[in-house]
Every structure is written in C-alpha cells, then in structure tokens.
Amino acid sequence: MTTVNPRILPPTPSATNPPLLIGELLETGVRMAGDNQIVYRDLSRHDYRRFRERVHQLAHLLSARGVGAGNVVAVLDWDSHRYLEAFFAVPMIGAILHTVNVRLSPEQIHYTMEHAEDTFVLVHQDFVPLLASMHERLPLVHGYLLCQDEAGKVDTPLPLVGEYEALLAGQPGHYDFPTFDENAVATLFYTTGTTGNPKGVFFTHRQLVLHTLGEASTFQAPGFELLDRNKVYMPITPMFHVHAWGVPYTATLLGATQVYPGRYEPEMLVKLLVSEKVDFSHCVPTLLGMVVGAEAITSGRVDLSGWKVLVGGSPLTESLARKAWELGIDTRSAYGMSETCPLLTAAILPCDIAEADFETQLPWRCKAGVAVPLVHLQVVDESGTPLPQDGESVGEVRVRAPWLTQAYYKETTRSEELWRDGWLHTGDVATLDERGFLEIRDRIKDVIKTGGEWVSSLELENLISQCPGVAEVAVIGVADEQWGERPAALVVPTDLNNPPSSEAIQAFLKRFVDEGHINRWALPSTIRCVDEIPKTSVGKLDKKRIRQEV
C-alpha cells in the first residue's frame, strides 16, 4: 500500500462539522413521513412525531434513573415499539444498548449481562422470572424497568423501578441530546459460536449511520424496492439479533410504516401481515419455511401475495424460493453476520437477469449477491491471495467495510483471530463470479472433504430440499477411513408417517449427478429420517449438535 500525504486544511475556528450520530436517522424519518405509523401488535399505534417524542421521554426517564453516557443498558423484550425507542434513546444519550439474546440458556444470558457490565435493564414481563433468578448475581444492575402489554401488578422479588408506559407518561417531551464523538459505542450484543462463551460485538454511532445509509441505498435499488415511506415493514428477525439486521434504523431513516409483532406467534404474525398490509419482512429460511408451509397459507385462506421477504442467516434454497413464489411471495437473499452489522451483500440481480423469467432468476435470488456500497469483499485462498472471479474458485470470504466490529468485547485473542492480516474473516467459503456476485458454498468448518475433494454441504442441502417428501435437511461430514470424510444427511419428512426412502432420495440426487451439477462422490453415504433437526438460538442448523447426534 502506497503512503501519500494529501492536503488537510484546517476549518475556520467557528465552523462545525457534525458527527455521524444515530439521532440524525430519526430526525430524517420524522421530516419525510411525520404522519406514518409505528404499530405494536394489535395493541398500540402512533405516528413518527409521537415516536420522536417518546424517544425524548425515554431519554429523560433513563437520565432520571441515573443512566448516563458510557453506561450499558440491557433490553430483554420481544420486538416492540419500546425496543425501537430504546434503539434510539439509549445511544442518543451516549449510553450503550445491549440487546440481550433471550433465546440463550439462562446461564448464557447471565454470562452476557455480567460480561457486558449492564447497569440498567428494560425487561418484558415474560423475562421477569428469569432475571429474578439471577439478579443477585448481577450486582452492577441498579434498576429494572418493567415492560408489560397489559396493566396489572407483577409479583416478583426482582427490584422493579416501575413500568415503562407509566413512567414514560410523566416525562417532558423534549430532551436536549448531547453531541459527541461519532466513534462512541452505541450497541453491544453477543454471538454464539460453536465453542466457548458467547462473544460480544459492538458498533459505533458512525458505523450504524453508515450501515443505515448503505442499507437504504441497497433496499431502494431497482428490483429490490423494499423500503420507502409508502411501504409497511415488519421484522421477523428478532431485534436482539444484529439489530434486526439494522432494518429498524433504515426503516426509520426512510420513514416507512413499522409494525412490531411482539413475541413471534404464528397467528399474530399472519394477522398483522394481512391487517397491516405488510410489504416487506426479513427472516431466516426456517421461519419462511414455516410460513409457506402453514395450512392457512397453503389452503389459500390467507393471501400473502405481494409480500417481499429478504432471507438471510442461512442460504435460501431454490425449493423454498419457488414455493414462496407460487404463493406470490417475492424472496431475495442477503448475506452478513453478527460481526458485520450485518449487511455485506444483497442479491440485486444483474441487469439482464432482472429482466428474465422467474426460473432464470431463481438461482440468482438464492445467491448472496453483490457487495453493497462501501463494502470490499474478497474470496481468497489459504495464503490470502484473491482467487479468480470465475464463479468456480472456492475460498474464504474476507471483508473490509466501515461498519465491522473492531474487536470482540474484552477478547484479545479471538479478536486478533477474527482480524488476522487486516481483513475480517467471515469463516464462509464461497465463489465470486466475474460480475462480483457471491455464492456461499459452506462454513469453513462445515466443508466436507472426501477423497481430497471439497463437497459443499449447502449445495447438497439445497438439492435434497427439492426432493418430494422432504421438509428439512442437514448435511454434515462423517469420518471415513477410506475417504477421510463422507457426506451424511439428516432429513425431516413432510409427513412423519410416510417418510421418503433413502433410495428415493438417492435416485432423486442421481439426476443432478447425471446432469453434471454435482459429482458422484458428493452423494451422501447415509441418509437418515428424523423428527427434528437441532437449531441454534437464531434458527440456523446447529451442525455441532447434529454431529453429536449422527
């Protein structure tokens, strides 16, 4: 890298150059769409002007309870208008928002809250018993603020300071928010790996503002058109999971109507999708699979046509995308991870493909897509050399972008491992084609090596999922004396009483061998039907546990 000395000119003494702070996003949304609504289940709705006022009130509430700049505020809530308010108010006073993953085990939750040094907690009624069981082991926490949907006293030994709505009501509607360094930490949350304790990742105001601008540009791209002030948005990726992919921030910037569904209950989700005319959601494939498989949808009683769903977390399979399409649901992929804020790539189709029919588009819709603005992405070999962009050469994905976590919180060794050689290592193996379209082939640790050849477990899963009678599938490598490893598949049948035979699935796959899509040695040695496949707390296949079960 060349070093140069470009010219930096001093500002005139009175000039100001505002830092990139999260509050800017809210102000823009209010200007663009002050009348648009924030909806919470079938329980409440208010417009953007009131949303801003409530953010100011929450800031007063927190300040009055002794929360100041640099403090860590934990939230344990389902997706709600309250959570959205905390997304803004907590960082805007200079404090750090810790979005607690409520799907972790109680011990892991305790670990993350202690490790994050939480000092104040917003807790939904549902999690009061959980925190009551551990609050004595969280000595730094000096207050618990109750979030409940229905009035009524909660009987608990947890030292609650009051109820969110009741305390908010008494606060002034204007808070004089401070300005400060854009590199101040705004959010913190934990990601679980396959080994060891959860790891904390953190993002600054600058990173979140830039991520939001990059995401906004991506979501407004032709063919995507997911979000603007005329659209209705509802997340189905929890807000504790990488800030619901940062979309609440982007939706706020663009002034979209926002619907928060609370705890994910199938009936409520479907009810809101229909009654609020939701245009856009995002979720993991598993959840989309549940929706398109629900009786109400397949029977045609509920019509979801026109709904756009961005799928991430795990790759979207072609069979799921096709099933959705037949119901009028437009799916597209995006790719990222907790460490990357998360957005890295999005399947914005190449111009010629965008004009083609659905079947031509299908494989492109299921790929990870092109790097979004400001993201540098490479696929490299083991020595760190970029591989040819030929859609064939497989290597690890490494990235640079102005919104990547700069370390794991208080984890020196793992941080350096993540950032070795100055690039963030995703741990994913993929190909890049000549147009820069990324296709994820596998997690590095899930790659199956048989007879010296790499086999993509994702590709096999994609193919097996298209076999009639297969609802879900996971492919892993099992040790083999002769070949090193051999692929093995676990399959959940659509009808538990009438599972497809192993031979039927092999015969189905044979077609792809004959057509040259996969090699003969990629055919699984064993295929086993099971009732359920183990998943992680965010709905991904838990290959570590799957390996233990095979």
| Range 437-496, binding its own copies (CB under 8 A) | none
Q: Taking CB under 8 A as the criterion, which residues in 250-269 touch its own copies?
A: 253-254
For its own copies, give the closer residue by CB, 254 or 470: 254
Residue from 160, 221, 444, 447 binding its own copies (CB under 8 A): 221
Instruction: Look up tokens 């793992």; give the residue.
Output: 414
Q: Taking CB under 8 A as the criterion, which residues in 62-101 touch its own copies?
A: 68-70, 93-96
Beta carbon of residue 232, minimum distance to its own copies (angstroms, whole number): 13
Instruction: Look up tokens 């917003």; give the residue.
Output: 122
For its own copies, give the closer residue by CB, 186 or 284: 186
The answer to whether residues 188 and 96 touch, using CB atoms and an 8 Å cutoff, is yes
By CB under 8 A, residue 402 contacts its own copies: yes
Catalytic residues: 191, 339, 449, 454
Residue from 156, 197, 220, 389 binding its own copies (CB under 8 A): 220
Neighbours of 155 (CB within 10 A): 6
By CB under 8 A, residue 183 contacts its own copies: yes
By CB under 8 A, residue 118 contacts its own copies: no
Element (DSSP H or E) covering residue 544? helix 543-549
By CB under 8 A, residue 17 contacts its own copies: yes
By CB under 8 A, residue 379 contacts its own copies: no
Residue from 305, 412, 497, 548 binding its own copies (CB under 8 A): 412
By CB under 8 A, residue 14 contacts its own copies: yes
> Which two three-digit tokens encode residue 247?
């979309």
Residues in Cβ contact with 488 at an 8 Å cutoff, skipping those fewer than 6 apart: 475, 476, 477, 478, 524, 525, 526, 527, 528, 550
Report the C-alpha gap between 336 and 211 in whole angstroms: 12
Residue from 86, 334, 418, 538 binding its own copies (CB under 8 A): 418
Count helices and strands (H / E) in the chain. Answer: 19, 25
Residues in Cβ contact with 322 at an 8 Å cutoff, skipping those fewer than 6 apart: 362
DSSP code string of 116-183: TTEEEEEEEGGGHHHHHTTGGG-TT--EEEEE-SS------SS-EEEEHHHHHHTS-S--------TT
Q: How many CA atoms lie within 13 A of 126 on its CB side?
A: 10
Q: Taking CB under 8 A as the criterion, which residues in 337-376 touch its own copies?
A: 348, 351-352, 370-374, 376
The answer to whether residues 67 and 93 touch, using CB atoms and an 8 Å cutoff, is yes
By CB under 8 A, residue 380 contacts its own copies: no
Select from 26-34, 240-248, 273-281, 512-520 the region that touches its own copies (CB under 8 A): 26-34
Residue from 51, 89, 100, 214 binding its own copies (CB under 8 A): 214
Residue from 155, 421, 531, 532 binding its own copies (CB under 8 A): 421
By CB under 8 A, residue 40 contacts its own copies: no
Per-residue burial over 439-470, b = 16 or more CB atoms within 10 Å of its CB, e = otherwise: bbbbbeebbbebeeeebbbbbbbbbbbbbebb
Residue from 120, 202, 233, 364 binding its own copies (CB under 8 A): 202
The answer to whether residues 109 and 141 touch, using CB atoms and an 8 Å cutoff, is no
Nearest to 39 by CA among 232, 219, 229, 212: 232
Beta carbon of residue 355, minimum distance to its own copies (angstroms, whole number): 10
Q: Taking CB under 8 A as the criterion, which residues in 132-171 touch its own copies?
A: none
For its own copies, give the closer residue by CB, 31 or 510: 31
For its own copies, give the closer residue by CB, 18 or 152: 18
